[in-house]
Every structure is written in C-alpha cells, then in structure tokens.
Amino acid sequence: MGSLGEMKDFSMVGPARSRGLFVIRGSFSHINAQLEAALRRVRPEIDLDVIDVGKEFKENMLSQLRCLLGVQREYGLSSWSSKDMLRYRLARSRTYYQAVSEMVRDRFDPADYDFTLQTQSLFNAALPGIPNFVYTDHVARAGMSSLQGLFGAPSDGWFACESEIYTQARHVFTFGPKIRRMLTEQYRIAPEKSSAIGAGASVLPKRPVDLSTERFARRRILFVGVDWERKGGPELVDAFKLLRTRLPDATLTVIGCSPELQVEGVEVLGRLPLEEVAEHFHEASCFCMPSRLEPFGVVFCEAMQFGLPVVSTDVGDIGSIVVEGETGHVVPGRNPEALSEALFQTLAMPDRALRLGTAAKARATQFTWDAVAERIAAHFPGEPAMPRAELEVAW
C-alpha cells in the first residue's frame, strides 16, 4: 500500500470554481443523495461529479469473480454459508478494497479534480496528489458486536486496508464523537485530522410543528425502524406493557417493519412513504427506538426536528444526540423496566414532555444536511479557516 505522491499546491486557490469527485457506494440509507444535494446548495460554485462504485462493481462480472475468490482465500469456505455472510465479508475484503480503489484511479485523472470525497470507509477513493475526505458513521474496531457475532470479525488484512483509508485522508468526518475518539485512540489518527460533524434528517416537517400540551397529553409513542430485533423492538413491547399499567391511555405505533404483535394499544403499519412517516412524526408525543446496536441513529435527529422527546438506549452515539433529562432520556440497552420508567417520566406530565420536545427541536437545528455540508466544505482547498467550534456539533 504505497504513497499517493505529492499533493497539489492550493495556496493560490481563490473563489474560482473548483471540481470535486464524490465517491459513493449505494444509497447509504438515503444519506448520499441528501449530502450531494446539500453540497450543491451550500457550494454551488463547486462542480461535483458523482460515481457509485457499488453500481460499477456490479456491472463488472470479472471483477466480481476475482473478489469472490479473494473472499474465500481471506475468510475461508464459511463465507458461502449465506448471502448475508458473503455480502458482509466481501465488503470487508482486501480484494474488494483493491478492486474499487483501482477502479477509481483507473477511471479518473487527478489533474481534473481539486479533491475527492467519499462516504463510508469500505474503500479508498484517494487519487494521487489531491486531498481525499472521508465521511463515515463507523470504524471496524467499533466492535459492532452483534454483526461480528453473526459474521465473524474482519480480517487483519481488512484492518490494514481500513487504516490506510484514514492515514491517506486529508480529513475524516465522523457522524458522532465516539467514532472520532476511536480514530485517535485505536487508529492513531491525529486529533486535528478528524471532526464529529453529525448527520442530517431525511424526513423533515413540511408544516409548523405543534408544540402544545394537548399534543403530548395524547401519549402516542412512535417507533420507526426497519430491523425490529436490532432496533430493540421486543424490549419496547415489554416496556410498553409495563407502561400501560400506569398510563392505560398510552399507544404505540410501529413503522418500518411488520412484527407479528397482538398487544392492546399497539398498531403496526409496516413500511410507509416518507411523506406519511412525516405525518406520524407530527402526531406523535414521544419517539422511542431502544436500539441494541446503533452506530449513530439519523432517525433520532429526524424525531427531534418534529419537536419529539426521545427515549432510547445509551449504545453507540445515541447518548451524544439525546441530552439526558433535557431532550429526552437514555437507558441501558435490553432493559424493559428502565425503558418503561423513562417512558413514564416522559409522558406522565404533558408540560414536562412539552419542555423536552421544545428543547429537542432547538437542538435539532445542528442536525441538518446543509449544516453537515458546510462543515465538510469548510475543509476543501481554498476555503477560509473557521473556528473549530463551528466545524462540529456542540456535543
């Protein structure tokens, strides 16, 4: 894994138009489209080219075959035990990393660009001589215990590839402070080379948010998540049953997945268009998704945009998004009793729920895609220096 060569001299770069290459892999849960649109809004003077390496890889059958054989060599025959296993290990293999990195280098001339920007740290979009920026919600050494329990830990070869991404990057942007600390403590990345800049919301209010005691007196709990088990759905149901013995008028609406539940007061709606999800955010009194595993949790930022108090667990960076006792409550994971008590404390008194929801909406102003784009673009070549406090969320 060699050097990227000498960097361009950007000392004379002024307000003239510049050109960047935005390298993505799939939709990244709608994040890539949101960030691209925000970058074009906040920096219209930048010409931004976009390549989806995931799509390009799927169209190259020979490269796919080589990578699949590489996965078997790196991880063994157990890689073929399921599609999910193979998909997980493929994205964390040296052959895939090398194939995608070479694809970017072979296709794009660094002389045509002033910088590259990539989301996720599953490949290296760096081109010789120009700075590369990385925006990611995770690092492999963060554990992701339940996934690694299912699929096994990444190989030593993959950890070396991942480290190269961060070492060669001009700057690494993380969603939250936990991953930023890990970059410093476990990857030996200098503190000044990383920033925790948050994430934005994909679901936003299209009408004024109701901040009244009447709204919170309705005691409507909302859950929005695709993975029922990983998002702590079973614990929420147990907590809800306990809560109903104290607040019998409380209700729970489940969106994003369709667990088979026969519980009084629970309504399961499954997957809905984003516009309909927004209406449920408007009508809810509290948002609760007690995740067992969560790198960051964009949905919490979305809930706060609608003035909702958030009740969740202290896993990942959720405790950095939700300010305990100010914008909601966080409790230990897999603890229905503690979760039920937190829901009670949130919903028992509508005026207190109103206070939490009002504070959550105020905090949500830091979690927008335009704010994220501004924090990233401030590091691009030729941008004037800004105080570090303005380049991160007030965690």
In a domain, 1, yes or no: no
Number of Cβ within a 10 Å radius of residue 2: 7
In a domain, 240, yes or no: yes
Q: In CATH, what number is assigned to the domain containing residue 251?
A: 3.40.50.2000
225 and 186 co-located in one domain: no
72 and 152 co-located in one domain: yes
In a domain, 208, yes or no: no
- Give yes or no for a contact between 370 and 41, defined as CB atoms under 8 angstroms apart: yes
Phi, psi of 194 (to 5 degrees): -140, 150
Structure-block tokens of residue 96: 């895939």
Q: Provide the pLDDT for residue 148.
A: 66
pLDDT tens, per residue, the chain with 395 residues: 544 555 555 444 445 689 999 999 999 988 999 999 999 999 999 999 999 999 999 999 999 999 999 999 999 999 999 999 999 999 999 999 999 999 999 999 999 999 999 999 999 999 999 999 999 999 998 865 556 667 888 999 999 999 999 999 999 999 999 999 999 999 999 999 999 999 999 899 999 999 999 999 999 999 999 999 999 999 999 999 999 999 999 999 999 999 999 999 999 999 999 999 999 999 999 999 999 989 899 999 999 999 999 999 999 899 999 999 999 999 999 999 999 999 999 999 999 999 999 999 999 999 999 999 999 999 999 998 777 778 899 99
pTM to 2 decimal places: 0.91
Give the range of the structural domain holding residue 26, as residue numbers without chain letter: 18-200+368-391
In a domain, 4, yes or no: no
Strand 194-196 and strand 220-224: the pairing is unpaired
**Cα(299)–Cα(19) distance, rounded to whole angstroms?**
32
Count of the separate structural domains present in the chain: 2
In a domain, 11, yes or no: no
**Cα(101)–Cα(385) distance, rounded to whole angstroms?**
30
Question: N- to C-terminal Cα distance for the chain?
Answer: 35
217 and 300 co-located in one domain: yes
Q: Provide the pLDDT for residue 13.
A: 47
Structure-block tokens of residue 366: 């830091």
Task: Give kind and range of the element (H or E) at residue 311.
Answer: strand 310-313
Q: In CATH, what number is assigned to the domain containing residue 71?
A: 3.40.50
64 and 132 co-located in one domain: yes
155 and 254 co-located in one domain: no
Structure-block tokens of residue 233: 């759905």
Q: What is the 3-state secondary structure (H, E, C) of 231-296?
A: CCHHHHHHHHHHHHCCCCCCEEEEECCCCCCCCCCEEEEECCCHHHHHHHHHHCCEEECCCCCCCC
DSSP β-bridge partners for residue 19: 47
Q: Provide the pLDDT for residue 388.
A: 73
Phi, psi of 232 (to 5 degrees): 80, 20
**Cα(139)–Cα(142) distance, rounded to whole angstroms?**
5
227 and 375 co-located in one domain: no
**Cα(120)–Cα(32) distance, rounded to whole angstroms?**
10
Q: Provide the pLDDT for residue 9.
A: 55
**Cα(346)–Cα(153) distance, rounded to whole angstroms?**
38
In a domain, 10, yes or no: no
Phi, psi of 309 (to 5 degrees): -65, 145
Structure-block tokens of residue 160: 């070396």
261 and 170 co-located in one domain: no
In a domain, 6, yes or no: no
In a domain, 13, yes or no: no
258 and 373 co-located in one domain: no
**Cα(395)–Cα(323) distance, rounded to whole angstroms?**
9
120 and 245 co-located in one domain: no
- Give yes or no for a contact between 258 and 270, defined as CB atoms under 8 angstroms apart: yes
292 and 324 co-located in one domain: yes
374 and 353 co-located in one domain: no
Number of residues that make up the chain: 395
159 and 229 co-located in one domain: no
Phi, psi of 7 (to 5 degrees): -80, 150
**Cα(225)–Cα(245) distance, rounded to whole angstroms?**
25
Looking at residue 324, the DSSP 8-state letter turns out to be: B
DSSP β-bridge partners for residue 254: 223, 268
